[in-house]
Amino acid sequence: MVKIWILTGISILLAGTFLWYMASSTSMLIGKSSHESAVFHDRVLVIVERDGQIVYRYETHNLITDAGRNFIRQQAFGTASNSTAQYIALSTDSTAPAAGDTSLAGEITGQGLARAQGTATLGGTGQITISRTFTMASGANPTFTINKAGLFDQASGGTLVAVALISNPPTLQAGDSITINWQINIT
């Protein structure tokens, strides 16, 4: 009797697994389209150099803001503007980014660290890298702690397309350079 129950239990388990597999395969054939959706994968690489030596290297992912999603939609499928998301800004603000952000709080506007247009380099299929190197100049602030980087579509104002929070943020002093490489992959 125990053997029958065990065999029945195994049979039910195998039948349930088979039915689940068939249901998920069928829904993939019936309920989903045969084409893939575009997905944005990205990484932000931050490098700080002091006296020609790399003193900080950090790689992270960013948050594409709601306004950024709308910007991308408009560029790809709507009434595209002539702007491109190639402007990189740095911030001293350490607040975690939120999808609803429309500006970069604590954006640095001087001493060689003000928002600037990066260089766009096309990579493989669906890949682009926006890169900018900033060099901190002497001025009123002897140091800046860089907590965030933002990607905008204009030199001032404009749409905050994406923002990256930098863990263990670097502190820059006059003469230091910081390079931001914003790599976007559309898969």
More confident residue, 29 or 129: 129
Please tell me the predicted confidence (pLDDT) of residue 79.
75
pLDDT band at 31 (very low <50, low <70, confident <90, very high): very low
Neighbouring residues of 51: CB distance < 8 A, sequence distance ≥ 6: 175
Please tell me the predicted confidence (pLDDT) of residue 76.
80
More confident residue, 25 or 66: 66
| pLDDT digit string, tens, across residues 81-97 | 677 899 999 999 999 99
By CB neighbour count within 10 A (0-12 exposed, 13-18 middle, 19+ buried), where does 178 fall?
Answer: buried
Question: In this prediction, what percent of the chain has a pLDDT beyond 70?
Answer: 77
pLDDT > 50? residue 138: yes
Question: In this prediction, what percent of the chain has a pLDDT beyond 90?
Answer: 60
Alpha-helix runs per DSSP H in the chain: 2-30, 66-77
More confident residue, 172 or 71: 172
| pLDDT digit string, tens, across residues 49-87 | 999 999 999 999 999 899 988 888 888 887 766 778 999
Please tell me the predicted confidence (pLDDT) of residue 1.
38
Q: Please, are residues 40 and 184 in contact by the beta-carbon 8 Å criterion? A: yes
